[in-house]
């Protein structure tokens, strides 16, 4: 689905991504973990064309992301940014419906089908009851779920999520990750998400990318990546690994 080939990225003189390469297979569930500042958000922004690499290539289904028109790209890839916020105080319902934009022609209004899709996305993220509230009058966690609802309304093939559960209470952390897993399994939607919670990344992901200082330190299955040695090398903490059906860390 996605091929990331030797990308470098710098903000000014500060080199943040260094020769990053990996592939994301269609239908995969990939989590990116790594300490603050290791380059996760920068990587995701390069993948969604918000930033352009200084070197290397990013292809989506064998075609450079640069060769996609904005709407065409948005029909395939939906993004939820870290701490996503809006300066405008739109209604929740309006914001979610905006997810249909890639499917509308210029000046075309949303139709019944678009509304139905938006309502379904709100139901899936349990935000339908908020539809008449404004974005500024709901909580941070509710807003995060609204942004996910908008992404789902895009009916994407790939969901790119940057810390999608960072403001959520434990119930909604599970709800959102279970929803992602369900979309991944039942609709073959490719999920690519950054996560700070190593144990949840381990539980939900098929593949984990562990970043350190702008490079991929390790990529593989949770069993391969979540080891006491790797966690020590990347986070500089000592942990015990407890096995469930997936490895979990217990800081010691």
Ligand X SMILES: Nc1ncnc2c1ncn2[C@@H]1O[C@H](COP(=O)(O)OP(=O)(O)OP(=O)(O)O)[C@@H](O)[C@H]1O
Calculate the CA 118 to chain-centre distance: 19
Among 33-41, 119-127, 134-142, 229-237, the segment contacting ligand X (CB under 6 A): 33-41
Pick from 39, 93, 156, 164: which binds ligand X (CB under 6 A)? 39
Residue 83 in the binding site for ligand X (CB under 6 A): no
3-state DSSP assignment of residue 59: strand
| Helix pair angle (170-187, 140-153), 10° resolution | 10
Owner of token pair 């709100």? 122
User: 36 touches which of Mg ion, ligand X, none (CB within 5 to 8 A by kind)?
Assistant: ligand X
User: 16 touches which of ligand X, Mg ion, none (CB within 5 to 8 A by kind)?
Assistant: ligand X
Residue 173 in the binding site for ligand X (CB under 6 A): no
Residue 41 in the binding site for Mg ion (CB under 5 A): yes
- Distance in angstroms (rounded) separating the CA atoms of residues 232 and 247: 15
Minimum distance between the CB of residue 41 and Mg ion, rounded to whole angstroms? Answer: 3
DSSP string covering 175-224: HHHHHHHHHHHHH--EEEEE-S-HHHHHHH-SEEEEEETTEEEEEE-HHH
Residue 37 in the binding site for ligand X (CB under 6 A): yes
Window 59-98: contact mask with Mg ion (x via CB under 5 A): -----------------------x----------------
User: 11 touches which of ligand X, Mg ion, none (CB within 5 to 8 A by kind)?
Assistant: ligand X
- Distance in angstroms (rounded) separating the CA atoms of residues 114 and 112: 5
Pick from 28, 31, 42, 124: which binds ligand X (CB under 6 A)? 42
Owner of token pair 């403001």? 167
Calculate the CA 98 to chain-centre distance: 19
Residues that bind ligand X (CB under 6 A): 11, 14, 16, 34, 36-42, 82
């Amino acid at each position: 689905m996605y091929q990331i080939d030797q990308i470098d990225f710098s903000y000014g003189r500060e080199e943040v991504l260094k020769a990053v390469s990996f592939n994301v297979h269609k239908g995969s569930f990939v989590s990116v973990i790594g300490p603050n500042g290791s380059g996760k958000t920068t990587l995701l922004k390069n993948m969604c064309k918000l930033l352009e690499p200084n070197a290397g290539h990013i292809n989506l289904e064998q075609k450079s992301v640069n060769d996609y028109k904005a709407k065409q790209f948005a029909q395939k890839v939906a993004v939820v940014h870290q701490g996503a916020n809006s300066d405008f105080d739109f209604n929740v319902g309006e914001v979610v419906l905006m997810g249909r934009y890639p499917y509308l022609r210029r000046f075309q209004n949303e139709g019944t089908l678009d509304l139905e899709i938006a309502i379904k996305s709100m139901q899936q993220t349990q935000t339908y009851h908020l539809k008449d509230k404004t974005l500024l009058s709901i909580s941070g966690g509710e807003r995060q779920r609204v942004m996910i609802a908008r992404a789902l309304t895009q009916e994407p093939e790939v969901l790119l999520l940057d810390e999608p559960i960072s403001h959520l209470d434990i119930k909604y952390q599970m709800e959102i990750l279970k929803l992602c897993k369900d979309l991944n399994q039942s609709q073959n939607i490719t999920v690519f998400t950054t996560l700070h919670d190593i144990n949840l990344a381990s539980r939900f992901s098929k593949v984990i990318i562990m970043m350190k200082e702008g490079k991929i330190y390790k990529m593989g299955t949770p069993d391969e990546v979540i080891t006491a040695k790797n966690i020590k090398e990347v986070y500089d903490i000592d942990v015990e690994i407890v096995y469930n059906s997936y490895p979990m860390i217990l800081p010691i």
